[in-house]
Amino acid sequence: MFWGFHDTEKLTRKCYDIRWYGNRIRQFFTISAPKMDFDFVEPKIAFLNTAIEISLKNSIGSGLGAAYAYFIEESVEYMLLQMIASSQGGNVINEMYGYEGAFCSSVVPLFVNKNEYDKFMDHLIENRKQFKLEYNEKNVDCDMFSGAEVKNDPRIEQSFKLGKLLVEWLNVWRNSFCQ
């Protein structure tokens, strides 16, 4: 994914290991914005089911669906994200960029658990024609990525559009159960 905050900020990717008695039991990555003294845990990255027919931009014969980011509330990554965000105090990122819990909730869906994620992905496949239609009509109206204009880089535009649409569809899908 293409994460960023500001033209002058150079982001770095850090790798962390969680160890138990010297054995690595989990590895995760953060994106660090040193000038802002801010780190956040990378979300999981997945590829959209190819049945939805939204393909990875600029891929040469890869046959992969478009990439998207997401978190699962019950995951170690999300718990670490919450821990890191709370340790950084003041929620400067939230105030400046409208982030909730140190990630942009408008483009990174947050699933309660793996079961919800799987059911939602099944819902997308069942409604793939409507999803693809809405994707094609989606406008990119925000530039949250540093160093690039969203509309000038098809990968960034695709990730942003797909993320926004996934969040919107997830909210509608959840609300359909409450009625």
Does pLDDT of 88 surpass 70?
Answer: no
Rounded distance, CA 171 to CA 177, Å? 10
Q: Are 29 and 13 in contact (CB under 8 A)?
A: yes
Q: Are 12 and 19 in contact (CB under 8 A)?
A: no
H or E element at residue 26: strand 23-33
Q: Are 113 and 70 in contact (CB under 8 A)?
A: no
Those residues whose C-beta lies under 8 Å from the C-beta of residue 65, and which sit 6 or more positions away, are: 47, 48, 49, 50, 52, 54, 55, 56
Q: What average pLDDT does range 112-128 have in this prediction?
A: 95
Q: What's the pLDDT tens digit per position in 34-82?
A: 666 667 788 888 888 888 888 766 555 455 678 888 999 998 888 888 7
Does pLDDT of 128 surpass 50?
Answer: yes
